[in-house]
Structure 1
Amino acid sequence: MKNIVKKHLLQGKTETYLYRIFYYDCPPCDKNIYHPFLQRNINLKKSDLYTWMNTFLNELKSKRKFALRMGRLSSNDTGYIIKPEKMKALCANKIIFSYITEDDFRLDIKQKTMDMKLGTDIASITLKKQVDQIILIAGDSDFVPAAKLARREGVDFILDQMGQTINDDLNEHIDGIRSKIKYSIPKEQ
């Protein structure tokens, strides 16, 4: 992540000033989740990803110029679901259920409060005139109102969309798209 930020800070041969890196995430899920294909509970707290994510988040807390913004995970909407492509194939009778494997399922966890925290931070640093440019590295487009406010207040709003396609309404309310690394988007099977 540090390298991506550094690449964004380099403007030609000069480096621009970094106000702060805001990082938005949720703590990893520590629940026992029933896996319908395996027909048993999976203890996510015992996973390598859980351990890695906690280590990563704790490391970020100690970094200079980092502001860690933690949301929460939805307690009701968590579970394993069949990947959309496989569900379409099943419903279209292109495959039968006996062809489904464990890899055709994915964990579906919803994050809460992240968009609100992002929007509040953008509004706050914009209205306090703490920055003249915001570079948002994000793969979704749930922040049109915040981008619109920043631009109305004179902030140069750049998006690194992480290789994702963005909505037309978002494209209308940013000052440009700039990716500093080549993103590889994994395709779900």
Structure 2
Amino acid sequence: MARMAILVDGGFYLKRSKSLKGVKTPSARAEELVQYCKKHTEHEGADLYRIFYYDCDPIGKKAFHPFLRRTIDLSKSDDFKWKTEFFKELAKKRKLAIRKGEALEGSCEYVMNRSAMKDIATGKRDADSLTEKDFCLDVQQKGVDVRIGLDVALIAHEKFADQIVLITGDSDFVPAAKYARRHGIDFIIDPMWHNFRDGLGIHVDGMYTPWANPKRHKTV
């Protein structure tokens, strides 16, 4: 039986799972992640080598919110508490390794989200219509992509697994995918129904998302 390594871009998975399956407790989301990965092994008839989860610790600094016009202590926020507990739950899971990058606290700030910016730029809305929900915390990460690339190369070079599934919405992984394929790895991408650029299929051996496509189940 083939062995499968599953690499998860944590920030991407949390956004997509929330969008597709709604809000969950840290414990429920962690269990959901494990079961989601197992669907990949079941689909391919493979044995799980290990799940690698890549993300950064939550930011605990203070940041100014331009809409509320006050400074917010992020270490006391619900998001900080949720993610801290989520990491604790992940650490309990069998065959799951956590790879942490670094969140650049100097880049942490509240910014207007893209949807609101587009609406204002096109004249659909004006500044007076903005609400707190139109702003989000922008945090730049360092080291996550590098760790994913290094692990892909190591798994391929040392033959730790026969298949690699990468759960991500980032197409910058292509060089790592090419390296793995040259070493005989069956490389599968799971975009969780996120739109990828055209032509991506030539760089991987397959694309598969276990959950049903939400666009096929929308009602008018």
TM-score scaled to structure 2, two decimals? 0.78
- 1:143 alignment partner in structure 2: 173
Q: 2:53 is matched with which residue?
A: 23
Deviations 1:50-72 (A, max 9, x none): 11211111222232211100001
Displacement of 1:47 in angstroms is 1.4
Contact 2:51 2:95 in 1 (8 A): yes
User: Does the aligned pair in 2 maintain the 1:163–1:183 contact within 8 Å?
Assistant: yes
C-alpha contact (below 8 Å) 1:140/1:164 kept by paired residues: no
**5+ residue gaps in structure 2?**
1-32, 216-220
Q: Confirm whether residue 73 of structure 1 aligns to residue 103 of structure 2.
A: yes
Instruction: Return the alpha-carbon distance in structure 2 between the equivalents of residues 50 and 163 of structure 1.
Output: 27
Partner of 1:87: 117
1:53 aligns with 2:61: no
Instruction: Tell me, yes or no, if structure 1 residue 5 matches structure 2 residue 37.
Output: yes
Give, in whole Å, the separation in 2 of the partners of 1:39 and 1:24.
Answer: 33
Letter in 2 for 1:129: K
Q: How far off its partner does 1:20 sit?
A: 0.6
Which of 87, 100, 105 in structure 1 is aligned with 2:130?
100
Contact 1:31 1:43 in 2 (8 A): yes
Q: Partner amino acid for 2:63?
A: I
Deviates more, 1:169-178 or 1:17-26: 169-178
Q: Does residue 134 in structure 1 map to residue 125 in structure 2? A: no
1:115 paired with 2:145, answer yes
CA RMSD of aligned residues (A): 1.7
**Structure (1/2) with the larger helix percentage:** 2
Say whether the 8 Å CA contact 2:56–2:102 is kept in structure 1.
yes
Q: Which moved more, 1:38-47 or 1:90-99?
A: 90-99
Unaligned runs of 5+ in 1: none
183 and 106 in structure 1: CA distance in 2 versus 1, 3 angstrom threshold: farther
TM-score w.r.t. the length of structure 1 is: 0.90
Between Structure 1 and Structure 2, how many residues are aligned? Answer: 183
* 2:201 paired with 1:168: no
Q: Is this contact kept in 2: 1:144–1:169, CA < 8 A?
A: no
